Amino acid sequence: MDLVALRRQHTKWAIQQNPTTIIIHRTEKIDIGGYFEEVESEVGPFVVRIYQYGTWTPQEVSTLAGTKQVNRTWGMLMDYEADVKAGPNVLDEFEVPGLGKFQVLEVYPQKVKDKIVGYQVALVKVS
């Protein structure tokens, strides 16, 4: 077994220790010849591992609709076949019963020999 396959197997094993199934609701702003159009879609389902790290300090964020509290101490582990995005023109979000609603903040591909073996994802829990 090569190193890439071994790391992919390790990532799947880590996810299976505390699996959660999610469906991502994606909103993308696509340039349509001079203006942006919002396109919504769903991707998944994916089996992931959601975890909390650090200490929780509530932050209040102002939006056009008012204020909301966010918690930036959540992360997610996904396997190499996952479809997850983060950036200025895309918003991936999902809800987990019993945990709440999350938005994808950053996506960090984990690579071995220039091949993706999994994804570390920084999440924002929105209440």
What are the pLDDT digits (tens) for 64-100?
455 655 556 889 999 999 999 998 889 999 999 988 8
Q: 36 - beta bridge partners?
A: 31
Interval 97-109 mean pLDDT: 91
- The whole-angstrom separation of Cα 22 and Cα 119 is 15
Distance of CA 116 to the CA centre of its chain: 16
The residue to which tokens 């994804």 are assigned: 119
Tell if the pTM clears 0.85, that is, is over it.
no
60-71 burial, b at 16+ Cβ within 10 Å, e below that, comes to: eeeeeeeeeeeb
> Residue 58 pLDDT > 90, yes or no?
no
CA 61-63-69 angle, 5° bins: 30
At 10 the three-state DSSP class reads helix
- Higher pLDDT, residue 69 or 45: 45
- The model's pLDDT over 1-34, given as tens digits with 9 standing for 90+, comes to 699 999 999 999 999 999 999 999 999 988 888 8
Question: Domains along the chain?
Answer: 3-126 (2.40.10)
> Residue 104 pLDDT > 50, yes or no?
yes
